[in-house]
């Protein structure tokens, strides 16, 4: 549970010395409570205070990086159980699996599926993160050869190497170890050999265990051998995974079991698409899946984007004047905020009316209409600004805008301030069709 500003204040020296950069200890405490500053900025903290405050800012889950270069990705460093508590920071890497027994052509095909997958939504590219090669052949030579097929053209594609024989793993690492692939295959017998390999290449290591206790013990064993880039293997059926990952996440956040403060690895080759969705929503950080159909891949990437959106920073639309259909100079102008959902919803309903119109998106910093009105982010001056910047007056022959129903308190002020006539539209975009029918005949 996060500390309240006043609780933190009580731990501070109350000198108001300003050395932290804040005018008073109280304002410093308020920023600490919001996680906006680090406690070290205060030079006068006693040990007890440092412990209490330090613990609340150090991530309870270790940061781990897979791969090197522009395609590498980082996971871990999570602070919360529910995304609404703050946010989930690092979205899971999704890796397509391929067996080293597959033909070189098939391997190349999977690589090109991974690299060729690109979905752009709201200005963000959604991508698959890499490839997982598993040593089904159990042959060091074949494993190395299969990896070579991948790395020939794509040396920087992040990889998961899956083999339980240290000799096989070593052969693979000899090819790509310098690119810091994720190593999976540790068991009770090969632990030391694998740790040696991980240490040699500085690559992250997946540890496993039959139950959380054993998992924690194995992880501690690896840290004892000097490995800190660890991930916890929670692969199993969807049900097994979710029960284990819930437990591990809770223990990690409580910092109660040192061996569990690592990101989670999940292999869903047997559970498939629904296993992947389960992993995305419930705390997996690297997920290995069989190549998906294109539609499944898209749904999974969008789900990942949704779940890892910062709930406190709504996705914003670029403010400006948008066309719905092909509006002419006499068509109506609807005004709304730049909260992406509001925009999508309104646009959807407007499209379904088949009436061409203009959509003027004003900058409310991504707040919804109700929020923006309450917080003063939607105001007559914001509207005026938007009308001027968008050049709306030169696009239409009239001077009338339709504002959202929840913005009705502003209608008078907008009229006075902008000189545009204001019509108050419905509160709910779903009523836009009947509004157009009745009000804009």
Contacts with another protein in 103-132 (CB under 8 A)?
121
As beta bridge partners, residue 358 has: 323, 333
By CB under 8 A, name the one of 74, 246, 353, 356 that touches another protein.
Answer: 246
Residues 131-167, buried b or exposed e (16+ Cβ, 10 A)? bbbbbbbebbebbbbbbebbbeebeebbbbbbbbbbe
Task: Map residue 424 onto helix, strand or coil.
Answer: strand
DSSP 8-state code for residue 339: B
Within 259-298, which residues bind another protein (CB under 8 A)?
Answer: 260, 271, 273-275, 277-278, 280-282, 293-296, 298
148 binds another protein (CB under 8 A): no
306 lines the binding site for another protein (CB under 8 A): yes
Residue 237 in the binding site for another protein (CB under 8 A): yes
Nearer CB in complex with another protein: 3/145: 3
Region binding another protein by CB under 8 A among candidate stretches 42-50, 131-139, 166-174, 211-219: 211-219
Contact flag: residue 394 with another protein (CB under 8 A):
no
Q: Does 71 bind another protein (CB under 8 A)?
A: no
Contact 299, 278 (CB under 8 A): no
**Count of residues interacting with another protein (CB under 8 A):** 71
Shortest CB 316 distance to another protein, Å: 14
Q: Which is nearer to another protein, 177 or 275 (CB)?
A: 275
**What is the residue whose two structure tokens read 């069709």?**
433
**Rounded least distance, CB 79 to another protein, Å:** 14
Nearest to 283 by CA among 320, 317, 316, 250: 250
Q: Which of 41, 145, 193, 303 binds another protein (CB under 8 A)?
A: 303
Q: Which one of 64-72, 107-115, 235-243, 324-332 is the stretch in contact with another protein (CB under 8 A)? A: 235-243
Residue 135 CA from chain centroid, whole number = 31
Interface residues for another protein in 411-430 (CB under 8 A)?
A: 415-417
Q: Does 46 bind another protein (CB under 8 A)?
A: no
- Decide: is 309 part of the binding site for another protein (CB under 8 A): yes
CA distance 309 to 301: 12
* Residue 439 binds to another protein (criterion: CB under 8 A): no
* Closest CB 145 distance from another protein, rounded Å: 34
Contact 129, 95 (CB under 8 A): yes
Q: Is 17 in the site for another protein (CB under 8 A)?
A: no
The answer to whether residue 377 forms part of the interface with another protein (CB under 8 A) is yes
Residue 153 interacting with another protein (CB under 8 A): no
Tokens of 385: 């600004």
The correct pick among 21, 311, 328, 391 for binding another protein (CB under 8 A) is: 311
Is 304 strand, coil or helix? helix
Nearer to another protein, 36 or 394 (CB): 36
> Is residue 30 a contact point for another protein (CB under 8 A)?
yes
Q: Is 84 in the site for another protein (CB under 8 A)?
A: yes
Cα 302-308-309 angle, rounded to 5 deg: 90
**Closest by Cα among 119, 146, 121, 141 to 131:** 146
Residue 59 DSSP one-character state:
-
Torsion of CA 99, 102, 108, 113, to 10 degrees: -60
Say whether residue 16 binds another protein (CB under 8 A).
yes
Q: Hey, what are 323's tokens? A: 């066309």
CA angle 102, 191, 63 (to 5 degrees): 85
Q: How far apart are CA 23 and CA 317, in angstroms?
A: 36
Task: Figure out which of the listed residues 162, 186, 216, 403 binds another protein, where binding follows CB under 8 A.
Answer: 216
Residue with token string 């800012």: 57
CB of 126 vs another protein, minimal distance in Å:
10
> Of the candidates 202, 195, 198, which has an alpha carbon nearest to the alpha carbon of residue 220?
195
Which one, 100 or 363, has the nearer CB to another protein?
363
The bridge status of strand 64-66 relative to strand 73-75 is antiparallel
């Amino acid at each position: 549970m996060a500390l309240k500003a006043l609780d933190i204040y009580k731990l501070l020296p109350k000198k108001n010395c300003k050395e932290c950069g804040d005018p008073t200890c109280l304002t410093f405490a308020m920023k600490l409570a919001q996680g906006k500053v680090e406690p070290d900025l205060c030079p006068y903290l006693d040990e007890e205070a440092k412990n209490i405050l330090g613990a609340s800012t150090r991530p309870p889950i270790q940061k781990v990086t897979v791969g090197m270069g522009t395609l590498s990705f980082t996971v871990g460093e999570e602070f919360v159980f529910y995304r609404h508590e703050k946010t989930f920071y690092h979205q899971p890497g999704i890796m397509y699996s391929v067996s080293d027994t597959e033909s070189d052509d098939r391997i190349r095909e999977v690589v090109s599926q991974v690299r060729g997958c690109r979905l752009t939504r709201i200005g963000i590219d959604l991508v698959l993160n890499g490839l997982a090669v598993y040593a089904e052949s159990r042959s060091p030579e074949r494993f190395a050869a299969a990896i070579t097929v991948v790395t020939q053209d794509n040396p920087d594609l992040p990889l998961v190497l899956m083999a339980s024989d240290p000799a096989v793993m070593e052969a693979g690492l000899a090819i790509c170890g310098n690119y810091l692939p994720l190593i999976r295959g540790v068991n009770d017998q090969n632990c030391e050999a694998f740790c040696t390999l991980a240490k040699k290449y500085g690559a992250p290591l997946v540890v496993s265990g039959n139950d959380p206790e054993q998992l924690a013990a194995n992880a501690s064993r690896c840290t004892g051998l000097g490995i800190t880039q660890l991930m916890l293997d929670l692969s199993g059926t969807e049900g097994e995974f979710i029960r284990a990952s819930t437990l591990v996440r809770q223990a990690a956040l409580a910092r109660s079991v040192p061996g569990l403060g690592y990101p989670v690895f999940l292999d869903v080759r047997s559970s498939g698409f629904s296993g992947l969705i389960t992993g995305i929503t419930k705390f997996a950080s690297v997920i290995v899946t069989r190549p998906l159909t294109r539609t499944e891949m898209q749904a999974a990437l969008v789900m990942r984007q949704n779940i890892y959106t910062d709930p406190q920073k709504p996705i914003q639309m670029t403010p400006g004047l948008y066309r719905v259909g092909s509006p002419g100079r006499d068509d109506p102008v609807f005004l709304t905020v730049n909260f992406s959902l509001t925009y999508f919803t309104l646009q959807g309903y407007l499209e379904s009316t088949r009436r061409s119109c203009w959509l003027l998106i004003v900058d409310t910093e991504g707040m919804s209409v109700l929020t923006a009105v309450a917080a003063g982010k939607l105001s007559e001056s914001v509207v005026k600004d938007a009308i001027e910047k968008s050049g709306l007056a030169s696009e239409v022959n009239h001077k009338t805008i339709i504002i959202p129903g929840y913005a009705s308190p502003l209608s008078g002020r907008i009229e006075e301030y902008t000189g545009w006539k204001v019509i108050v539209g419905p509160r709910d975009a779903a009523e836009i069709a009947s509004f157009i029918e009745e009000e804009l005949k």
